[in-house]
Amino acid sequence: FREENPKRFFNMGVSEQNMMGVAAGLSLEGNKVFTYSIANFATSRCHEQIRNDICYHDLDVTIVATGGGLAYGAHGYTHHGIEDIAIMRCLPNMTIYVPSDRFELDFCFDKILQNKGPKYLRLARGKESDIYQKPIPENIDIVEIEKCSEITLLVCGPILDQAIECSKHFKNKGINIGLYSLPIISQSLSLKIKRLLGRSSIFMTVEEHKNIGGFGSFISELAIGMSRPPRIISCGVSPKNINSIGNQEHLRKINKIDKSALIKTISKLLRTL
């Protein structure tokens, strides 16, 4: 993009607060603006500017973050993007996109180009394997991978690969575990999600983010408003493990959001049915 559009690309340096202010100004001039940085720095460091300059004025700025979740595991807590969804979700007019692979990214990016307003696009670190084999239809906001069962998994982001392996494990044993991917976190999908929540008795949310304020909290808040809410179990990053350092695989394991941990959690639930 920089090579093809040198006058439309600006390297703002290590200055995220200024970057958001400039993005707001460019948007006020009628431009569709994208900012880019590592997840923590794109959200926490410049939260005031996102809140007051971009969201308050409902500007068409997309904040693109790389390294969401535990992707920068070996860099330590300063680089772990595990509170970013909570930070962005409470802001006015904000829509959050958390694709799991390149097909969901294409789907999300089409939505971003079609719609105005503040948006947060949370990416992994790259080189993630494909989960889907073909593009996702434009009119599908909730992707069904396995139909609802007594226990159903709701997942957002690249951690979907672990949930799929977990679902396959039980399918090989003749047990169906429902599985849905939700790459968009938005109140505009409330009715669709509530209809889905009415189709199973137990839902497990899985995310590479703290349990507080993230995707699991979003689903739980919707369930509270139902006359007969299902049981919601949230699987995410534990605040007790913020001092842990290691690669993404290791950190997923100690936070019990890898395939093996999900299998153990579901096995315990199955024994209660």
> pLDDT tens-digit profile of 174-200?
999 999 999 999 999 999 999 999 999
Tell the CATH topology of 6-122: Rossmann fold (3.40.50)
Question: Which runs of consecutive H residues, i.e. helices, occur in the chain?
Answer: 16-28, 39-43, 47-49, 84-89, 102-114, 160-171, 190-197, 215-224, 248-254, 259-270
CATH 3.40.50.920 domain locations along the chain:
143-270
The CATH class, in words, for 143-270 is alpha beta
pLDDT value for 112: 98
pLDDT band per the 50, 70, 90 thresholds, residue 127 = confident
**Residue 128 scores a pLDDT above 90:** no
Helix, coil or strand: residue 182: coil
pTM: 0.96
Mean pLDDT over the full length of the chain: 96
**CA 231 – CA 208 distance, rounded (Å):** 21
Helix, coil or strand: residue 22: helix
**Maximum C-alpha span of the chain:** 61
pLDDT value for 4: 95
- The two tokens of residue 218 are 């979003």
**Residue 69 scores a pLDDT above 90:** yes
Of 175, 133, 147, residue with least CA distance to 271:
175
Give the count of beta carbons closer than 10 Å to the beta carbon of residue 187.
Answer: 13
